[in-house]
Amino acid sequence: MKIYGAEFFGTFWLVLGGCGSAVLAAAFPAVGIGLLGVSLAFGLTVLTMAYAIGHISGCHLNPAVSIGLWAGGRFPAKQLLPYIVAQVLGAVVAGGILYLIASGKAGFDVSAGFASNGYGDHSPGGYSFLAALITEIVMTMMFLLIILGSTDKRAPQGMAPIAIGLGLTLIHLISIPVTNTSVNPARSTGVALFAGDWAISQLWLFWLAPIVGGLLGAAIYRFIGSNND
Alpha carbons 32 and 61: distance in angstroms, whole number: 27
| 229 occurs within a structural domain | no
| 211 occurs within a structural domain | yes
| 116 occurs within a structural domain | yes
* Residue 23 DSSP code: I
Q: Which domain holds residue 47?
A: 2-224
The tens-digit pLDDT sequence of the chain (229 residues) is: 899 999 999 999 999 999 999 998 887 666 678 889 999 999 999 999 999 999 999 899 999 999 999 999 999 999 999 999 999 999 999 999 999 999 888 888 888 889 999 999 999 999 999 999 999 999 999 999 999 999 998 888 888 999 999 999 999 999 999 999 999 999 999 999 999 889 999 999 999 999 999 999 999 999 998 775 4
What's the pLDDT score for residue 229? 44
Alpha carbons 224 and 175: distance in angstroms, whole number: 25
**Does residue 161 sit in helix, strand or coil?**
helix
Structural domain count, the chain: 1
Angle (CA) 108 13 89, round 5°: 85
Alpha carbons 152 and 161: distance in angstroms, whole number: 12
Q: Is 104 exposed, middle or buried (0-12, 13-18, 19+ CB in 10 A)?
A: exposed
What's the pLDDT score for residue 108? 86
| 136 occurs within a structural domain | yes
The answer to whether residues 192 and 200 touch, using CB atoms and an 8 Å cutoff, is: yes
The answer to whether residues 46 and 173 touch, using CB atoms and an 8 Å cutoff, is: no
Helix then strand count (H, E) for the chain reads: 9, 0
The answer to whether residues 68 and 217 touch, using CB atoms and an 8 Å cutoff, is: yes
| 94 occurs within a structural domain | yes
What's the pLDDT score for residue 105? 87
What's the pLDDT score for residue 183? 97
Alpha carbons 90 and 102: distance in angstroms, whole number: 18
Alpha carbons 95 and 18: distance in angstroms, whole number: 11
CATH number of the domain where residue 154 is located = 1.20.1080.10
| 207 occurs within a structural domain | yes
pTM of the full predicted structure? 0.92
| 201 occurs within a structural domain | yes
Closest CA to 123 of 185, 179, 52: 179
